[in-house]
Amino acid sequence: MKYVFGAVLALLVITASAQEGGWKRPDIPGDLMVDVGFNVWSSMPGALEKRTWSSKSIGLYYTKRKVLTGKLSFNYGAGLGLEKMSLGDSSTLFSNRLSGSGANQTLEPVLIFPLSDTLSYSKNKLATTYLDIPVEFRFHPMGTEDGEGLFIGVGGIVGLRLNSHTKQKYDYQGETVRDKVSGKYNLNPFRYGYQIRAGFKGVHLFYKRYVSDVFKDPFADGSNPVLTTVGINVTGF
């Protein structure tokens, strides 16, 4: 995560330098768009807890723009969406665990698994990476030729899950232990939703609401959350 924030900071510096005329930006037919923000689930299944401020959302997209009229443009692209959900320090998810015995043995797609109550966890996260395709129409009230200036955008986003894992970090007998386990966790292989963006030039705010369920099947308590992310975007090359 720290490397992503470093890349965002570098992009801010590069964009500012280009705007100040220190050097000429290369003529690349598109833009690198970086979303940085927080994510929330609409509900927390079972005993799972959530730490809002350590639950991060990152989007790294290459986008292109098609000017439709003097005030309307169509933006489209592709890239990676990274979601890290902090689960507190009481429980985590366990993927593909056998339960029962003999002829009654079944494979549970995902379980809420209690963590040790004798350890203090500094990290307990579910991380998921998606291949995302965002599209949107942008309205520029002051007019535009190249997409600069004030705008309001509305569109959609679809994603394909590439991988997912849980990660715990804790101290044990003077040593720092990091446990990382990859699995499907019954996560929905696809996600889709809508997005709203508003800002000025290379910096804007975004809101994404995924209407698809996070998990393929609901938990035993009937819950199956949907994901919302909100944050700030920097667009450059």
Could you give the number of structural domains in the chain? Answer: 1
Nearest CA to 113 out of 89, 79, 130 is that of 89
Rounded mean pLDDT of 23-49?
Answer: 82
Residue 102 located in a structural domain:
no
CATH number at residue 137: 2.40.160
Quickly state the pLDDT bin for 96 (edges 50, 70, 90): low
CA dist 138 and 67 (Å) reads 9
Render pLDDT for 196-235 as a digit per residue (tens, 0 to 9). Answer: 999 988 899 999 999 999 999 888 888 899 999 999 999 8
Quickly count: other Cβ atoms within 10 Å of residue 2's Cβ. Answer: 6
**What pLDDT does 21 receive?**
52
Contact call for residues 93 and 166 (beta carbons, < 8 A) = yes
Nearest CA to 163 out of 63, 96, 81 is that of 81
CA dist 62 and 55 (Å) reads 24
Quickly state the pLDDT bin for 3 (edges 50, 70, 90): very low
Residue 101 located in a structural domain:
no
Residue 22 located in a structural domain:
no
Domain coverage including residue 138: 2-13+32-96+107-236
Instruction: Please state the φ and ψ torsions of residue 3, each to the nearest 5 degrees.
Output: -70, -35
